[in-house]
Amino acid sequence: MKKNVYIIGSKGIPANYGGFETFVEKLTEYQQNKDIKYYVACIRENSLKSGIKKDIFEHNGATCFNVDVPNIGPAKAIWYDVAALTKAIKFAIKNNDVSPDFYVLACRIGPFIHYFKKKIKSIGGRLLVNPDGHEWLREKWSLPVRKYWKFSESLMIKHADLLVCDSKNIESYIQSEYKKYKPKTTYIAYGTDLSKSTFSPDSEIVRKWFQEKNISENGYYLVVGRFVPENNYASMLREFIKSKSKKDFVLITNVEQNSFFEKLKLETKFDRDSRIKFVGTVYDQNLLKYIRENAFAYFHGHEVGGTNPSLLEALASTKLNLLLDVGFNREVAEDSAIYWKKDNLSTFIENVESLDSDEINQLQVKAFSRVKEQFSWEFIVSEYENCLMNRN
């Protein structure tokens, strides 16, 4: 039986950046079950970055439809999801769909979801929701916005026919926090690419980047991610400065016009430590893989969210992974990484540097095996297709 699935909430494909965008890109790229037809909502500005001006276009076999959204500040994402879901339902009616699925990524439109649920139910459809992480805990949001996120989350969970959680910790939280709604949940993780960089140490782009940043292979700790408080940059910087390590601390992140960056500079004086190197962003994925593969170790300080893409990428490519000791990270890496607490990282760094090569190699083999078995895109896409074709 043919199955139409409408995906709402990513900026769209082709993916230019972002976790949800990459997820939709890979879900369609690695599609195995040809009985599924994907329709993907795209915000027009994302499509224009790829040179696409058409209202409707095809990508990876999916039908993509552009949505125009006014620039109205923080409410822009809410407007986009509402407009995209409205369009998706119109498509389903026009297509005379039988049992379509509407998969909404994140919990932005809770106050409106009861209205949409009635529409979806009237055409025999099913509402699926990916609750993402604990968005209401993120420090970047003001208190009123955080309260909105929590309220919106509760309504999305109340009305969803199925919640697809990319973290077992998130699934447990939903079952506990919203027990009164008797939510139906399933766990399907995020995926990652397992291929290695095709660059060599002699590649021109590699040597140019390493020379410009004054960095050498295996001579640095690495972190890649958004520069936000809940990723614990303050702890990592403060503790690294206290350590006696001779290695560099390389941070691949965007700090332009970032007040948090200036605040941390005042608090930690990291600009006085020549080992701390903010090197901007790296958009060349092949180069980024090489940088990961040739780090001495990877720091991961995330403590809000589900299965984090940057953690999976690190486990697939970096020799030694040093993770903040929280449930989200332990459920992904299990015994293939080493875990640190916020107040002991400086001592931890010195202990890690005494590990011999055999110990590091064993951890690397474990990490890659873990990712290959449970987080490859082929595996994740097959899990999704089974979920979408099963109405029980």
Domain ranges of the chain: 3-191+376-389, 204-374
Third-level CATH fold of 204-374: Rossmann fold (3.40.50)
Q: Do domains 3-191+376-389 and 204-374 have the same CATH topology?
A: yes
Q: What are phi and psi of 343, to 5 degrees?
A: -100, 5
Say whether pLDDT at 26 is over 80: yes
Average pLDDT for 46-62: 94
| 7 in Cβ contact with 41 (< 8 Å) | yes
How many Cα atoms within 13 Å fall on the side-chain side of residue 385?
20
Say whether pLDDT at 137 is over 60: no
Per-residue pLDDT at 163: 97
Per-residue pLDDT at 392: 65
Return the DSSP state at 361: H
How many Cα atoms within 13 Å fall on the side-chain side of residue 360?
18
Give pTM, 2 decimals.
Answer: 0.87
Least confident of 127-136, 195-204, 258-267, 337-346: 127-136
Say whether pLDDT at 141 is over 70: no
Third-level CATH fold of 3-191+376-389: Rossmann fold (3.40.50)
DSSP secondary structure, 204-242, as one string: HHHHHHHHHHT--TTSEEEEES---GGGTHHHHHHHHHH
Give the whole-angstrom CA distance, residue 112 versus residue 8.
14
How many Cα atoms within 13 Å fall on the side-chain side of residue 259?
2
Tell me the β-bridge partners of 41: 65
Per-residue pLDDT at 136: 52
Q: Share the mean pLDDT of the chain.
A: 92
